Amino acid sequence: MSFRERMSYTDYLQLDPILSAQKPLSSAHDELLFIIQHQTSELWMKLAIHEITSAIQAIQRDEPQPAFKMLTRVARIFEQLNSAWDVLRTMTPSEYTDFRDALGQSSGFQSYQYRAIEFLAGNRNLAMLGPHQHRPDLMEHLEAILSRPSLYDEAIRLLARKGFDIGSEAARTDWRDKRQESEEVLEAWRVVYANPGQYWDLYELAEKLVDFEDYFRRWRFNHVTTVERVIGFKRGTGGTSGTQYLKKMLEVELFPELWRVRTVL
């Protein structure tokens, strides 16, 4: 049973660095929960980024089927992240107050992986680059994502390749800015939803995207509810109004025409 010469479980999984990376700054009992909750979320986000990036490439190659599988996995990852809030919710305001000061001005605002997921999906709000300005390596990473079409841009480009008129979107070459909602794209999705049999791949893709956004919205809702439960309406350490800011973020849509189309069917 000696693993002196062979690769062990601990080696393969790099458990030494991972399990020595929890460094509470206070003696508060709940700080370890807070750290592990965030670290595990970031690990799941890493996998989500891997899946979304590959899904984008698969759609580009006109291979939607593998993309469907990856997007299903992304939705499941968010389901996992959503359940994880139940653990964090066991932390009361008194328990959080015990170590909140130790966090200084750090905040989830600076989660570059969260921002990468939003940018990859299609929610490109350039103001959100701000918190990463002090890290040129992260800026480069996020700018690289912004220089390429998002998941939703690729879905729209697939609509065009299948013969749909996507209006001014067809001439788009700059992917950096937030795209404008379009009547042509709405009409294209309407035709897809009115004729699932004829456009099965597009229909399935649309539903995978809606599923992804559905779980993503639940994550945002769980976050804001937990935040209100723990800090009420205190300002956030990241400098925003806190709960009020997060409530506003609940209105953000990743795939707007896919929600709009429901009304016109």
For residue 145, say whether it is annotated as part of any ligand binding site: no
Nearer to ligand HEM, 26 or 168 (CB): 26
For residue 52, say whether it is annotated as part of any ligand binding site: no
Distance CA 104, CA 107 (A): 9
Are 119 and 178 within 8 A, CB to CB? no
Distance CA 235, CA 68 (A): 40
The site string for ligand HEM over 88-117 (x = CB under 6 A, - otherwise) reads x-------x----------xxx-x--x---
3-state secondary structure at position 244: helix
For residue 237, say whether it is annotated as part of any ligand binding site: yes
Q: Considering the rule CB under 6 A, would residue 122 count as an interface residue with ligand HEM?
A: no
Minimum CB separation of residue 240 from ligand NFK in Å reads 8
Q: Considering the rule CB under 6 A, would residue 245 count as an interface residue with ligand HEM?
A: yes
Are 185 and 89 within 8 A, CB to CB? no
Only segment of 40-48, 53-61, 63-71, 102-110 that touches ligand NFK (CB under 6 A): 102-110
Nearer to ligand NFK, 6 or 134 (CB): 134
Q: Considering the rule CB under 6 A, would residue 97 count as an interface residue with ligand NFK?
A: no
Minimum CB separation of residue 174 from ligand HEM in Å reads 23
Q: Considering the rule CB under 6 A, would residue 38 count as an interface residue with ligand HEM?
A: yes
Nearer to ligand NFK, 41 or 123 (CB): 41
Nearer to ligand HEM, 66 or 108 (CB): 108
Distance CA 143, CA 136 (A): 10
Minimum CB separation of residue 20 from ligand NFK in Å reads 19
Dihedral sign from CA coordinates of 133, 139, 142, 144: positive
Are 132 and 113 within 8 A, CB to CB? no
Amino acid at 219: W
Q: What is the total count of residues that contact ligand NFK (CB under 6 A)?
A: 10
DSSP per-residue string spanning 1-14: ---SSS--HHHHTT
Distance CA 95, CA 68 (A): 42
Residue 103, binding choice from ligand HEM, ligand NFK, none, Cβ under 5 to 8 Å by partner class: ligand NFK
Tokens encoding 100: 């909140």
For residue 226, say whether it is annotated as part of any ligand binding site: no
Distance CA 8, CA 143 (A): 38
For residue 37, say whether it is annotated as part of any ligand binding site: yes
The site string for ligand NFK over 220-249 (x = CB under 6 A, - otherwise) reads -----------x----xxx-----------
Distance CA 119, CA 176 (A): 9
Distance CA 133, CA 129 (A): 7
Where along the sequence are the contacts to ligand NFK (CB under 6 A)? 38, 100, 103, 106-108, 231, 236-238
The annotated binding site for substrate is made up of 34-38, 96, 100, 237
